[in-house]
């Protein structure tokens, strides 16, 4: 079985520009490449898990996400992303075929579960990293450990047991360090 890092895109991997599919406006956070390279070197698959409600709202077509994926590949250079999963749905969408409650839209775990099946991932050895508690909840529902990037994007702070992260980090760099430290401690001090 593989282990994976499931990563939210907007606000975690790249600066959050609402409903953006313009490749020229996609900017990685400082330190992202090194943080992901460190995780990749330790044997983690890197899989993006992203809600893309702009499709359901009619702000852009689903095919526009291909250019986003390509731009991320260019920006990340030698750090390969193993999977790119997105949910185009929203229950209050404007495009009928995308207007639904689904099991893939975070906080539901559908995208993570699908990726785990596709890549033979051991979810108990994997992590979900995101900038809002819906990301944390999706990871917890899937059986992952979770990290909340506390960069000011979470505004609701509605807490319950499913929305409690394993760790809180200031950015992806610190999240990577926490994951690698946790893996090292588990190796030497199994709980």
Residues with catalytic roles = 8, 10
Nearest-10 Cα torsion for 120, 126, 132, 135 = 30
| DSSP per residue, 118-148 | HHTB-GGG-EEEESSHHHHHHHHHHT-EEEE
The DSSP call for residue 41 is H
Sign of CA dihedral 139, 141, 142, 145: positive
């Amino acid at each position: 079985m593989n282990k994976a890092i499931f990563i939210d895109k907007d606000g975690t991997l790249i600066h959050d520009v609402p409903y953006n599919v313009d490749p020229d406006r996609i900017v990685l956070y400082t330190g992202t490449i090194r943080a992901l390279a460190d995780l990749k070197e330790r044997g983690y698959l890197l899989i993006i898990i992203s809600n893309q409600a702009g499709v359901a709202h009619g702000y852009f077509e689903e095919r526009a996400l291909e250019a986003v994926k390509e731009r991320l590949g260019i920006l990340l250079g030698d750090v390969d992303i193993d999977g790119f999963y997105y949910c185009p749905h929203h229950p209050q969408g404007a495009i009928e075929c995308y207007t639904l409650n689904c099991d893939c839209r975070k906080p539901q775990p559908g995208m993570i579960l699908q990726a785990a099946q596709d890549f033979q991932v051991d979810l108990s050895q994997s992590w979900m990293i995101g900038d809002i508690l819906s990301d944390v909840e999706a990871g917890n529902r899937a059986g992952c450990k979770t990290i909340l990037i506390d960069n000011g994007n979470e505004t609701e702070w509605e807490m319950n047991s499913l929305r409690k992260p394993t760790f809180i980090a200031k950015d992806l760099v610190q999240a990577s360090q926490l994951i690698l430290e946790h893996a090292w401690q588990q190796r030497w001090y199994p709980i």
